[in-house]
Amino acid sequence: MGSSIKPPAVGRRIKEIRTKHSLTLDELSLKSGVSKSMLSQIESENVNPTIATVWKIANGLGIQFQALLEGKDEPQTSIHVTRASEATLLDSDDQAVHFQVLSPLKLADDLEFYILNLQPGGILDSQAHYRGTEEYLTVLEGRIRVVTGDKEEELDRGDFIIYDVDQAHRIQNIGGTDARVHLVVRFRKEEG
């Protein structure tokens, strides 16, 4: 006869840590992205949350996932390194734009980090993102034109730009040599 293994009392631990940090269910819901009703059910041990849900709650509490499972209240102090040799590399259909994805998968749909290499004349056309989404671009080498809607700016090495991307937008190498840019996309999701 095998013995059954009882899962950790995650709900009780979440409630203890939330209370210790003087967070209401509403506040933790906003920080974690988990609904107030789901948090209440988890804390009262009425549901068994998924790993993804517990991970979101741990992030909302600002502690390590493993620390939450162990009932500890340790601050979140992780480091993520994307080695150049392990980065995801993508190319545009015409091979004129090369992407190096720097951001870890866990940030997808929140923040994305890229290094883009554009050959002379290379163009990256993108469709509209959610309202409020922005891109932050720094020109590392070359000369770039950024177009968003009916606005455009020409940028040289060292220039930095922030622009809304809730409409079709374009990054174009307008110089005679390869251009290299660092691009950050900060997503905002439409509510409703």
Indicate if 88 and 65 belong to the same structural domain.
Answer: no
Q: Which of 19, 41, 69 is the last residue of a domain?
A: 69
Q: Tell me: pLDDT of 17 over 90.
A: no
Provide the whole-model pTM: 0.59
Please state whether beta strands 151-156 and 169-173 pair in parallel, antiparallel, or not at all (unpaired): unpaired
Residue 179 domain-assigned?
yes
**Domain extent at residue 140:** 84-186
Q: pLDDT-derived band of residue 5, with 50, 70 and 90 as boundaries?
A: very low
* Shared-domain flag, residues 46 and 104: no
**Which residue did the predictor score with more confidence, 184 or 12?**
184
Q: Residue 18: its pLDDT value, please?
A: 87
Residue 77 scores a pLDDT above 80 = no
Closest CA to 125 of 82, 94, 159, 83: 94
**Close Cβ partners of 110 (under 8 Å, ≥ 6 residues apart):** 186, 187
Kindly state whether residue 5 falls inside one of the protein's structural domains: no
Q: With a cut of 50, say whether residue 6 has pLDDT above it.
A: no
Least confident range from 90-104, 121-135, 140-154: namely 90-104
Q: Which of 33-47, 98-112, 165-179 has the lowest mean pLDDT?
A: 98-112
For residue 78, being part of any structural domain is answered with: no
| Dist. CA 47–CA 41, nearest whole Å | 6
